[in-house]
Amino acid sequence: MNRSWMVALAAMLPGLALAQPAPAGETLLHLSADGSVQAAPDQLVADLVAQNTSSSAADAQRRVNALIAQGMQAAHAVSGIDARAVGYQVSPADEKRTQWLAQQTLELRGADGPALLDLANRLQQLGFVTASLDWRLSPSLRRKAYAEATTAALKALQEQAASAAATLGLHVDHLKDVQLQPRMDGVLRPMMTMAARAGAPAPQATAAPEEVAAQVSAEVVLRP
């Protein structure tokens, strides 16, 4: 296919990008590299569910609302614990709609693990179900770790470029079209599902280092 036909095809298909040849004396090298860091989680997150089944949807809702109100009050009494109610849901519990299930999740977050675990245990005794409990990186710490992982990835890419240039008998002139993105396979860990009901042993959670990774790619311009 000659150049004129390629230009005509690009005009008919706007999403098609034509590869531009490198200027004389330049060699383009396409590289990508990964970088990662280990970060210690600094925030314990617990999801506790308030739920009730009743022949009346309104009655089930009232009971769930009352339990959530108790949970919020208990959480606000503990310094350093952030609490919010999320995920309100009311649905039939059987095909004939003779029973209704109402439920809502109380999400707790805090850096003081023992205090949050004690609160979660007390809420279990009130009737909450502990659905998940896990240590996670706070948003600010995750951003910091991602910045460090990106720096590591950029350094790795620079080393690759320098090594390739030396092998080819060239030198790195500059980088262009540098793209940064998180590498999701090492960012999130599954939460521990507890499903612990009232009367169950006090919940426990151990913080483990988490990998935060980044990937970079670029076009490297090489010259003699």
Q: What is the pLDDT of residue 195?
A: 46
Residues 52-85: pLDDT tens digits? 999 999 999 999 999 999 999 999 999 999 999 9
Mean pLDDT of 28-45: 95
Where does the chain have alpha helices with state H?
3-12, 57-76, 113-126, 139-168
Residues 201-220: pLDDT tens digits? 667 778 889 999 999 999 99
Of 148, 158, 151, 161, the C-alpha closest to 211 is: 148
- Could you tell me the maximum CA-CA distance found in the chain, to the nearest angstrom? 81
**Complete domains list, the chain, with CATH:** 22-42+137-190+208-224 (3.30.110.170), 43-136 (3.30.70.360)
DSSP calls for 37-83: EEE---EEEEEEEEEEEESSHHHHHHHHHHHHHHHHHHHHTSTT-EE
The SS3 assignment for 190 reads coil
Mean pLDDT, the chain, whole residue set: 85
Mean pLDDT of 145-172: 95
Dist. CA 105–CA 15, nearest whole Å: 45
Residue 95 has pLDDT above 80, yes or no: yes
Tell me if 203 sits within 8 A of 123, measured CB to CB: no
The SS3 assignment for 145 reads helix
